[in-house]
Homo-oligomer: A and B are copies of this chain.
Amino acid sequence: MNAGRPGPSLRKDYADYYVIQSRWMDKDVYGHMNNVVHYSLFDTAVNGWLIEHGLLDPHKGAALGLVVESGCRYFSEMAFPDIITAGLRITKIGNSSVRYEVGLFRNDEDRASAEGFFVHVIVDAKTRRPKPIDDSARDALEALLVM
């Protein structure tokens, strides 16, 4: 990613929040949260938010979101037993895709320890082919939209 990128966001730069506990196994041999775990927290925060808001039923829903791209920048370390607040925002709602951005805030810190994103393509649960996001889902997702 390019040199002009801004540094870590603050909590206020996100539209909603989802709290996640760290686990013992999140730490790797270097004593900090392994870089892979951050993506597990992104998945948990976004899917957790979607389920809470009635936008995802992974077992019986007609549609689900598949990740087609993801990324993360790591600014500072996290470790067990940190409590992590995931800040959530959406920066683009396309015809059948959504770009989520997630900041991970360690304990009481106001500056993100890591920031990432992923792009969901919304697909039909059976055919796994892309389908347009319906209006009610679009309205609900706009709660996270940050321009």
Binding site for B on A (CB under 8 A): 1, 19-21, 23-25, 27-31, 34-36, 39-41, 43-44, 47-48, 51-52, 58-59, 64, 66-74, 80-81, 118-119
Q: A31 to B35: give the CA distance in the assembly, Å.
A: 16
Q: Report A59 CB to chain B, min CB distance, Å.
A: 6
Q: A119 to B73: give the CA distance in the assembly, Å.
A: 10
Q: A73 to B71: give the CA distance in the assembly, Å.
A: 9
Decide: A28 and B29 in contact? CB cutoff 8 A.
yes
If A24-B43, A43-B25 touch, whether A118 touches B35 (CB-CB below 8 Å) is yes
Decide: A72 and B74 in contact? CB cutoff 8 A.
no
Pick 16 A–B contacts, CB within 8 A, sort by A: A1-B69, A1-B119, A21-B44, A23-B43, A24-B44, A27-B28, A28-B29, A29-B58, A35-B43, A35-B67, A35-B118, A36-B43, A44-B81, A51-B80, A67-B74, A70-B72
